[in-house]
Amino acid sequence: MANILFIGAGMMASALTIPAAENGNKICLAGSPLDDEIIAEIERTGYHKTLKRQLPQGIETCRADGIAGRISDADLILCGVSSFGVEWFKNEIIPLIPERTPVLAVTKGMMQDGDAFISYPEYYEKSTGKRISFNAIGGPCTSYELADHDYSAVTFCGRDIETLRTLKSYFATAYYRVSLSTDIRGVECAVALKNAYALAVSLAIGMSYKREGREFEHYNSQAALFGQAIREMTGLLALFGGDASNLMLGAGDLYVTIFGGRTRKLGTLLGTGMPFNEAMDALSGITLESVVIAGRTAEALRRFAAAGKARIEDYPLLCHVEELITGKSLVNVPWEKFEYEFIRK
Amino acid sequence: MANILFIGAGMMASALTIPAAENGNKICLAGSPLDDEIIAEIERTGYHKTLKRQLPQGIETCRADGIAGRISDADLILCGVSSFGVEWFKNEIIPLIPERTPVLAVTKGMMQDGDAFISYPEYYEKSTGKRISFNAIGGPCTSYELADHDYSAVTFCGRDIETLRTLKSYFATAYYRVSLSTDIRGVECAVALKNAYALAVSLAIGMSYKREGREFEHYNSQAALFGQAIREMTGLLALFGGDASNLMLGAGDLYVTIFGGRTRKLGTLLGTGMPFNEAMDALSGITLESVVIAGRTAEALRRFAAAGKARIEDYPLLCHVEELITGKSLVNVPWEKFEYEFIRK
C-alpha cells in the first residue's frame, strides 16, 4: 500500500502501526528526541513500554536523528507527537517535508491565533510557505483499546476529500472505522474540548468519594455535569467556527475520556477537595493535555467575550475548571449557574 | 408550601417525596392499583421496598381506592406511574382532577398520535376536554441517587412558565436543581430516546464480555456507539419537533442510564449474542421501558420516512436495536453504516 513514516513513538501513533501493518503498509516508527528509551526497547523486544503491547513484526524503527534521511521515501508522514511536541514538529520536521507528502496528525489541541482559536493542522499550514496537506484524526479512541482490536470509530479531517479517502485506505480495518470530514476546525475543536470537560465531569467522582468516604460513585451528579458539558461544548463549537454536527465526536470522546486514565484521575482528586498543586504532585510524571486545553479555551473565551462575541456566564463549568487549575478555588461546583429557563418561541 | 398528592408509589415518585418533604410540603403518597404491597410496607415501617430507602416521616399514604377522596384538597397532582400506567391514569384519574390543579408527571415516553409522535403530557391534554395544566420532569436523575441526596439536574417542562416556576418552588433544593422549559415535546422526546439508545450503547459492554470471556469492559466501542447515539438522537429530536438544545438532557440521561440497572443489563445480555427472548427470561419480572420506546420510535421513524420526511438509513443503530428486540437478528452492530463523509460548504 504505502510507505508510512511515523514521527513520534507515543502510545497513539504506535497503536496505529497495528491497523497500518495489517493493511500491508511499510512502516517506519521514528522516535522524537524524547522517545529514545521507547525505541530502544522496541528494537530489543518489539514491546512498547508505555503502550504495554507488542508492536507488529516487521516494522522498522529509527531515532530522531534518522528522520531526515527517511522523509523523502515516505508516502505519508504520521505526526504522532503530543501537544508538547508541536513546536518541535513545526520547526524541525515540517521544513523537511516535500509538498507531495501529506501529513496525518494524532495530536489533539487548539491554540490562539490572533482573533481565532485554531487547530494544529491549521497552525502547521500557517507556519509554512509550502503547500503541504495537513490532516488529523479525531474521535473517541484510546490507544490501548485500539491495540486490543476493540471496535473504534474515528474521523479523519483535512481540506481535500480525495486525500482523506487515500489516507483512510491505509488505516481502515473492520475494527478501526474511519469517517471523513473537511471541517478541520470542527472536528479538532470538538475532540480538544472534551479534554477540558472530561476533567469537569470527573469532579463528581471525587465529590462522591469524599462524601461516601470510599470509592463509591454516584451517577446523577456525573450526568448533570455531562449534560452541562454538552451544552457548553455546543456553544464553544459554534463560537470557534466548527459545524454543529461534530458534537457527536466530542460527546463520544468525552464519554471514553471519563473512563480513561489521567484526566479522570486529576478530576477525581480535585473533586475530593484537593488543591491543584497537590493533585499535580500526586500525579507526578504524567502529561496533562486537559489542563493545557482548559486554560487555553478559557483564555479564548475571554477574548471572544471581550470582542462582544460570547458571554462568559454561558460557560460556568469551564470557568470553574479554570479556577481549579489556576489554584484560585477548591472544588465548588456552581450548580445554580447551570439552571436555565427555556421559553420556546 | 403546598398539598401534593403523589399518585403511583413507584421509585421515582417516592424519591421525590424527599425534597418535597424537606421543603415543607404536605404530602400524600397514593398507590396505584399495583402498589398495595409497597404502600402496606410504608405504612408499617416507613420503608419503600423497591426504592430500598426510608421515606420522610410525616407523609401520609393511601390506596388507589382512596385517591378520589383526596384530589380536591391537592394543590398539585404528582403523576408517578410508569408508561404501563398511563392508560389507567388517563381513564381513572384525569376525570377526577379539577382544572385549577396542575399535574406534574415523571413518566418517560412518547407515543404515536396520527402523523405526530407526542409526549405523555400532550397525550393527556388531548384526552380530556378540561383545561388542566399537564407538566413533566425530564433529565438525568435516578431515584436511588435522588433519595441519597446526590446532586441532580432536571428540567420541568410545561406550557406556562409561571406554573413551572411554582412547581419548581415545591421541589427545588440545593441538591435537586431544576431548570424550566416550555418545550414539552423537546424535553420529553430527548429523555425518552435515551432509553432506546442506552440499550444500544450497552451492547458494546456485552460484546466486550463475550470477547474477553469475563466481565471486562472496553470503552472505544461504547464511545463509538455513544457518538452514533448522539448523532441519531439529534436527528430524531428535530424530526419529532423538539428544539435542538434539549440534546444536553438526552446526553446526560443517556450517560446515567448506561450505568443504571435494567436497560444496561438487557443491552449487555444482547451484546453477548443472546437472543431477545432468552434475555427477557433472564431478566424476568422487571419492566423495560427501553424496549417499548425503541419499538415505538422505530415505528414512528418508518411513518415519517413513508411520508418523505426522514430517511431510515440515517438511523442504523435504532434499526439494529429494533431487529434485536423483535427477534429478527442477534447482535451484529452495523459499524460500516455509521461511517460518513462530511464535506463542509
In angstroms, rounded to a whole number, what is the distance separating the alpha carbons of residues A147 and A14? 9
Q: Residue A176 — left, alpha, or beta (φ > 0 → left; ψ -120 to 50 → alpha)?
A: beta
Report the run of H or E that residue A222 belongs to, with start and end.
Answer: helix A220-240
CB contact (8 A) between residue A252 and residue B230: yes
Q: Cβ–Cβ of A153/B177 closer than 8 Å? A: no
Amino acid sitting at position A209: Y
Contacts of A202 in chain B (CB under 8 A): none
Q: d(Cα B238, Cα B323) in Å, to the nearest integer?
A: 24
Put simply, the answer to whether B256 touches A178 (Cβ < 8 Å) is: no
**Contact call for residues A342 and B243 (beta carbons, < 8 A):** yes
**Integer CA distances (angstroms), A12 to A9, A80, B106, B128, in order:** 8, 7, 44, 59
B223 to A336: CB separation less than 8 angstroms, yes or no: no
Query: For residue B131, is pLDDT > 90?
Result: yes
Ordered by where they begin, the domains of chain A are: 3-182 (3.40.50.720), 191-338 (1.10.1040.10)
State the Cα–Cα distance between residues B92 and A190, nearest whole angstrom.
Answer: 49
Straight-line distance from the first to the last Cα atom of chain A, in angstroms, rounded to the nearest whole number: 55
Chain B: closest CA distance from residue A96 (Å): 30
pLDDT at B83: 86
Beta pairing class for B110-113 and B116-119: antiparallel
Which DSSP letter does residue A182 get? Answer: S
Per-residue pLDDT at A260: 73
The answer to whether the CB of B156 falls within 8 A of the CB of B104 is yes
Q: Which of A153, A182, A259 sits opposite B224 (nearest CB)?
A: A153
- What's the length of chain B? 345
Tell how strand B60-62 and strand B110-113 pair up: unpaired
Degrees (nearest 5) of the Cα angle B200, B204, B206? Answer: 105
Q: Which pLDDT score is estimated for B84? A: 86
Q: Among A235, A195, A202, which residue's Cα sits nearest to residue A333?
A: A202
DSSP code per residue over B36-47: HHHHHHHHHHSE
Q: How many residues does chain A have?
A: 345
Whether B286 shows a pLDDT value over 80: the answer reads no
Q: Which residues of A touch B224 (CB under 8 A)?
A: 140, 151-153, 177, 252
**pLDDT, tens digit (0-9, with 9 covering 90-100), for A53-103:** 999 999 999 999 999 999 999 999 999 998 889 999 999 999 999 999 999
**Distances from the Cα of B76 to the Cα of A177, B100, B169, B175, B338, angstroms:** 51, 9, 12, 22, 45
Question: A249: which chain B residues are within 8 Å (Cβ-Cβ)?
Answer: 227
CA distance A294 to A48: 30
From B146, B172, B137, select the one nearest B48 (Cα to Cα). Answer: B146
Closest approach of B345 to chain A, Cα-based (Å): 9
User: Could you tell me the pTM of the whole model?
Assistant: 0.95
What is the complex's ipTM, to 2 decimals? 0.95
The answer to whether B150 contacts A181, with C-beta atoms less than 8 Å apart, is: no
Confidence of residue A285 (pLDDT cuts 50, 70, 90): low
Q: Give the tens place of pLDDT for each residue, A297-345.
A: 999 999 999 999 999 999 999 999 999 999 999 999 999 999 999 999 8
**What pLDDT, on the 0 to 100 scale, is given for residue A136?**
98
B179, B218, B259: residue with CB nearest A150: B218
CA A293/CA A322 separation, integer angstroms: 10
Integer Cα distance of A223 and A231 in angstroms: 12
Q: Which one-letter DSSP state was computed for residue B75? A: S
Helix (H, G, I), strand (E, B) or coil at B299: helix
If pLDDT is split at 50, 70 and 90, which confidence band does A17 have? very high
When pLDDT is cut at 50, 70 and 90, the band that residue B260 belongs to is confident
pLDDT value at position A66? 96
Share of chain B above pLDDT 70, in %: 99
Among the partner-chain residues A148, A227, A252, the one whose CB lies closest to the CB of B249 is A227
DSSP A34: T
pLDDT for position B285: 58
**Position A44, amino acid:** R
CA A107-A113-A119 angle, to 5 degrees, is 25
Shortest CA gap B339–chain A (Å): 5
Does position B341 have pLDDT exceeding 60, yes or no? yes
pLDDT score of B200 more than 70: yes
Cα–Cα distance, B176 to A221 (Å, whole number): 10
The least confident of A123-127, A284-288, B86-90 is A284-288
- CA-to-CA distance for B294 and B264, rounded, in angstroms? 14
pLDDT above 90: percentage of residues in chain A: 92
- Phi, psi (5° rounding) for residue B217? -100, 130
Mean pLDDT of chain B: 95
What are the strands, taking DSSP E only, across B172-283?
A: 176-181
How many CB atoms are located within 10 Å of the residue B316 CB?
17
Which chain A positions have a beta carbon within 8 Å of B190's beta carbon?
A: none
Distance of alpha carbon A132 from alpha carbon A9, whole angstroms: 22
CA dist B105 → B7, B80, B85, B94, B183 (Å)? 10, 6, 12, 12, 15
φ, ψ at A44 (rounded to 5°): -75, -50
Q: Which residues contact A181 (CB under 8 A, 6 or more apart)?
A: A155, A156, A157, A164, A187, A246, B341, B342, B343, B344
Which residues of chain B are within 8 Å of residue A204 when distances are taken between CB atoms? 151
